[in-house]
Amino acid sequence: MSWNSICGRVAACALLGMVALWMGQAHAQDFPSRPIKILIGFAPGGGSDLIARLYAQHLRQELNTPVIVENKAGASELQAVRALIASPPDGYTLWLAAGGALSIGPGIRKDLPYEPLTSLSHVAMVATAPGVFYVNPALPVRSVSDFVAYAQANPGKVNFSSSGVGSGSHLQVEYFMQGAGIKMTHIPYKSSPEAAQSVVSGEVQFGLAPAQTAIPLANDGRVRAIAVTNTRRLPALPNVPTMAEAGSNAALKSMDGFSYYALVGPANMPSAVIQKINQAFNKVGAMPEVVEHMRDRFSVEPVTTTPAAFREYLEKDLMKWKEVGKTVKIDG
């Protein structure tokens, strides 16, 4: 190949790159020109659903277009992710996902039809969320050590609920069982509220839920909270210890987080569109009324980050759960 041919090819590639950059910038200038849809992988009333609807109210003004929340519940958010990856990567279809579907499930499971680092565009980290371990009040336990002793003394008689196979509430309990040396039967539901209600009714004895689901039930006496997965006690549950305080060994004491919520799109979204959506979400997440609402009503901590910082967080969390996945196994 001649030097002129090589130079010509290099120039053509550079031109194509410039054209792609220009087209992405032009698309971002026009974006959005129609309603944006945010997919939720759970039934209405769960953490991601409530957060998405709160943000959607404010994003309408920030992006000057309607923002619609659409629930696609089931299969540990797989209904939502399948709809997302089948959508054009133009920024008009997004997914507000929980950590169970972004890093916990993909870190442990080998049967998922997507890979979080390559199948998705990483738009924004939105919030972090503590969780609460709780039991039916009729169960004769008041602490984590009580519960572990009860489960060990009653093999095969204790079950736990979750918001779905592979969800954060499922896999965190799998990790808990491994650390505690106990076995329970998993009963999956479609959302955190449904899973919690099964413990209230006594159909299920034990569960782990986002704080915003568990706190009102615990304060009303419908469930008994025995520990929180957070670095500090929750103001709404001041007498409930953290796992660092309640855990009987290093594995249980290290359970200092439950989940997070983040916004993603289909792979290959234009970077300029990602930046525009990220900036809008960060602006909403910094609004005093939104911060107050998120903390006081949802018991989550709003987060504002760049797309790159979100991806870095995801990479680290995936690595953690892949290590866990070497010993914790689940059935699909």
Return per-residue pLDDT of the chain as tens, 332 residues.
Answer: 555 554 455 455 445 544 444 554 555 779 999 999 999 998 898 889 999 999 999 999 999 999 999 999 988 899 999 999 999 999 999 999 999 899 998 998 888 999 999 999 999 999 999 999 999 999 999 999 999 999 999 988 999 999 888 788 998 999 899 899 999 999 999 888 999 999 999 999 999 998 989 999 999 999 999 999 988 899 899 999 999 999 888 889 888 888 899 999 999 999 999 999 999 999 999 999 999 999 988 889 899 999 999 999 999 999 989 988 888 777 55
Residue 226 lies in a domain: yes
**The last residue of a domain, from among 235, 253, 271:** 253
Asked whether 164 and 74 are in contact (CB, 8 A), the reply is yes
Claim to verify: residue 249 and residue 289 sit in the same structural domain: no
- Full domain range(s) for residue 150: 131-253
Q: pTM for the whole thing?
A: 0.80
Contact in structure between 228 and 132 (CB atoms under 8 Å): yes
> Looking at the structure, do residues 125 and 145 belong to the same domain, yes or no?
no
Q: Are residues 169 and 269 in the same domain?
A: no
Q: Which of 220, 238, 253 marks a domain boundary?
A: 253
306/158 same-domain check: no
Q: Are residues 79 and 154 in the same domain?
A: no
93, β-bridge pairs: 37
Distance (Å, whole) CA 2 – CA 10: 13
Domain at 53, CATH number: 3.40.190.150
Residue type, 41: G
Q: Is residue 173 part of a domain?
A: yes
Query: Can you tell me the distance from the alpha carbon of 111 to that of 109, in angstroms, rounded to the nearest whole number?
Result: 6
Same domain for 189 and 210, yes or no, is yes
One domain for residues 87 and 169: no
C-alpha–C-alpha distance, residues 320 and 82, integer Å: 25
**CB distance 325 to 108 below 8 Å:** yes
Q: Count of domains in the chain?
A: 2
Check residue 75 and give left, alpha or beta (phi > 0: left; psi -120 to 50: alpha): left
- My answer on whether 100 and 200 are in the same domain is no
